[in-house]
Amino acid sequence: MEGVPLSRLIYLAVLALLLLIVWGGWFKGLRRKPGARKPSAASARDLLPGLLDKIEQENDLVAIPKAFALSFQCSDPALKLRAARAIAKRISLLPVTRLARLDSQFREWAPMEWDDGWRRADPAALLSPSLTEAEKTVILGLASFHPNGYFREKAVWSLSRMTTGAEFPYLIIRLNDWVVPVWNLANRAVRGRLTPQNARTIVNALPLIVRLRGRSRRDHHDLVRAAIGILSTPEARPELELGLRSKESMVRRHCYQAIAETGIFKNSALLGYVLKDPSPMNRAIVFRQLSANLTLEEVRSRREALLGDRSAPVRLITLRMLHRFDPAGSVPDLERAIMDDDPAVRDAARFLLRDHDGRYDFPSIYREALASSSARLPGAIAGLGETGQAADARSIIPFLKADRVRWARAGLRAYAKLDFAKAKGALIDLLADPRPGVVKEARSLLQKGVNSIDAADAGLIHRAFNKDEPAARRRRVAALLCSLNKWDALPYILEVSADPDETIARIGREALARWLSRYNRSFTAPSRTQLEAIQSAVKDYGPAIPEQAREQITFNLKTL
């Protein structure tokens, strides 16, 4: 710094000090929300009962973080006890995977402006002597979700002293904590519990353990391998089998996967368990993993159950495996599968049959099935829609009025695929059908073909928005009207926004917000008829929509 005047150095030092002071105050302001203050005991006593009512009566999870923080400030022992019990009861009913999401939820709401108080606070202050051990565990577990690291560390230390097993999920969640002392405590506590004697505890928390594989803050693969290794021991096997009958779908799924990884069950035995699982998603995911190691004999031994499974992916994988093992022998199963209810299964079956013999005439097969009133009629209707010509629509039309909703919906989808230009009239008429399933299908198909709907069609659709129609049907029609093309939709959006039914008006307001945000994405100008309809709608319904939105529409119209 030779040659720099002393006065210049003093000036720079003072300037740097001022910048640090300003920066410190600004940074503190970022952490402290404007107007946010640590609530007094009195305000906590006033606010807490309403939140507890939501938790007890409405099972409102969103209220839990705030109720938890307020219960800490509450000076009323009875109210504090009520809060702890209400929160503990609600949390005890949650699946273990929901705890991880609740951890994030705590930080989203988190009162970070209470830093000093929480740093010195002790989670034990929340534990009334009247609470059971299970309730105390839940309260300490939620304390471990707190954004303040000092508070979390105390909570994790208290949890690590417990030995009921209920503390284990909370400790696992903290294994990915960003504060090293918190992680160290959780890591020691979890590893100390990885023993065959704790197999049931490990099984119940398996979804959280396996979830650690996807965490990037630290490498948890060795811990996950250790946990699964414990479950592969002879002492732990009975608990693992019990896990296959757990009420929680994710626990069962990860038990299957742990068994598949360790190979402690034969594939045929594990497949028997999988096919009995009540969750279609579990059956699909686990069967897909097992399929690479299954033999033809193992698949054939379960062939009827696999091809009759309600999960379409299971049926699809089975067909591909049978075809891969024995192309000629799989033909009868593939021929039945072209009538399957699921489009992916039908498509795969046709592809594999065509690969085996290119002479198959699928439209003719479907026409014959319709003519013979096949038991698998919905699959035949859908199949003809996928493979037929526009002329085949006349074979589909009779099913639109079928008594069975399933047949009618299949007919609607097939007709729309074969000839949407002619089908849209029937779809619009069916918006007035008394069957909700048919109305829902018709609306969905019209929305998909919205670019083919003109002003005349829109006018016909609007008839179903009559005030005398049931509210559920009017909501579906309102959503359809609001999804029309840019200039055709706007008059209807304004009308829907002004509807006296708040649930319908909300659909209109949301559509109006989208319309205004996307207005400049296309530069097509409205026709004279469209412009007149919009101006008339603004005049009739303008007072019912927000002033800013009305002014923006008026301004946009003036610029055309």
Indicate if the pLDDT at residue 21 is higher than 80: no
Kindly report, residue by residue over 408-436, the tens digit of the pLDDT.
999 999 999 999 999 999 999 999 888 98
Integer Cα distance of 36 and 43 in angstroms: 13
Return the higher-pLDDT residue of 125 and 246: 246
Indicate if the pLDDT at residue 33 is higher than 60: no
* Span of 72-76, 113-117, 473-477 with lowest mean pLDDT: 113-117
Name which of 418, 410, 409 is nearest 379 in CA terms. 410
The tokens of 234 are what? 């002879």
What average pLDDT does this structure show over 509-526?
Answer: 86
What average pLDDT does this structure show over 267-292?
Answer: 92
Cα-Cα-Cα-Cα dihedral sign, residues 30, 35, 41, 43: negative
DSSP-based helix, strand, coil % in the chain, nearest 5: 75, 0, 25
The helix/strand/coil state of 376 is coil
pLDDT score recorded for residue 2: 53
pLDDT score recorded for residue 128: 82
Return the higher-pLDDT residue of 521 and 471: 471
The helix/strand/coil state of 341 is coil
Name which of 313, 320, 365, 361 is nearest 339 in CA terms. 365
pLDDT score recorded for residue 126: 77
- E strand intervals along 250-370: none
The half-sphere exposure of 366 on its side-chain side, counting CA atoms within 13 A, is 26
Integer Cα distance of 422 and 514 in angstroms: 30
Kindly report, residue by residue over 157-188, the tens digit of the pLDDT.
999 999 999 999 999 999 999 999 999 999 99
Integer Cα distance of 475 and 470 in angstroms: 9
- At 9, the pLDDT band (50, 70, 90 cuts) reads low
Indicate if the pLDDT at residue 29 is higher than 90: no
pLDDT score recorded for residue 262: 85
Please give the mean pLDDT across all residues of the chain: 87
